[in-house]
Amino acid sequence: MDEFFKKLPFLDHILKGIGQIMLQENRWTGLLFLIGIFMGSWQCGVAVLISTAAGTFTAMKLKYNQAEISAGLYGFSAALVGVALAFLFDATALIWILIILGGALAAVIQHFLSGRKFRYLLFLYRNHMDTGICTASFYPYSASAMLSAEVVPTQYDDFLTCTNGFGEVIFQGGVLSGIIFFLAVFISSPVAALYGLAASILGAGLSQWNGEPVKEIHMGLFGFNAVLSAIVFLE
């Protein structure tokens, strides 16, 4: 398969960029992330592909460090901008244009911050900044139906809360998406996956102790930051 991706380096950069959302320089992790996103929403899946491609293409045209491009480091912020915009807003022509521009802008911001001493701390918040810049001017725009989708409780919610935390890292609330994301990290780095799982459980437990809504805890909304933090500090 290495020979296949040598013939399609741009695709390899894109998949690694998606994998870098959870600090995994692994094309198969990126592919599984993409599958999990498509399972949750085809709009989010397409948005991730387009925005990651835009960010990677921008980095290539601006002649940023080739090793960093190959590792997917100019793809993950772009990927998160794309999936966030698709999740937050109705998929109109204007939003698709913004997804492309947002992906390109994310690569530029990524390059500006990459040499700073605080880059690892900023990793946790950089995607929120990029998304905030892109969404601030379009706040009155019609919201996506995904924002108001009803979550149906199941008897397995307590058991699946920990993997739902993985899903919410990439704005996916589906049970299968969360499981796939966990497995995607596990095949690249079992230790990172298990640290993330433990952090998600801890985040859920602390949130329940603090009296947060059980429904939101089960969704993984109090676990995704814990997952990312555990993986980042492990690196």
Each residue of 20-70: pLDDT tens digit?
999 999 999 999 999 999 998 999 999 999 999 999 999 999 999 999 999
Q: What's the mean pLDDT when you consider all of the chain?
A: 84
Provide the pLDDT for residue 105.
Answer: 93
137 and 158 within one domain:
no
Cα–Cα distance between 126 and 110 in angstroms, integer?
A: 8
> Where does a domain end: 126, 142, 158?
142
Quick: pLDDT tens for 88-112. Answer: 888 889 999 999 999 999 999 888 8
115 and 12 within one domain:
yes
Which residues span the domain enclosing 33? 7-142
What are the b/e assignments for 70-98, b being 16+ CB within 10 Å?
A: ebbbbbbbbbbbbbbbbbbbebeeebbeb
Decide if 166 contacts 182 (C-beta within 8 A).
Answer: yes
Conformational region of residue 171, where left means phi above 0, alpha means psi within -120 to 50, and beta covers everything else = left
Enumerate residues 6+ apart whose C-beta is below 8 A from 187. Answer: 26, 28, 29, 32
Give the mean model confidence (pLDDT) for residues 164-168.
91
Q: How many residues does the chain have?
A: 235
111 and 25 within one domain:
yes
99 and 20 within one domain:
yes
Q: What percent of the chain has pLDDT over 70?
A: 80
Q: Is residue 96 part of a domain?
A: yes
Total number of domains constituting the chain: 2
- Rounded to a whole number of angstroms, the distance between the first and last alpha carbons of the chain is 27
228 and 128 within one domain:
no
Provide the pLDDT for residue 125.
Answer: 47
Provide the pLDDT for residue 138.
Answer: 54
131 and 17 within one domain:
yes
Provide the pLDDT for residue 157.
Answer: 67
With cut-offs at 50, 70 and 90, classify the pLDDT of residue 13.
Answer: very high
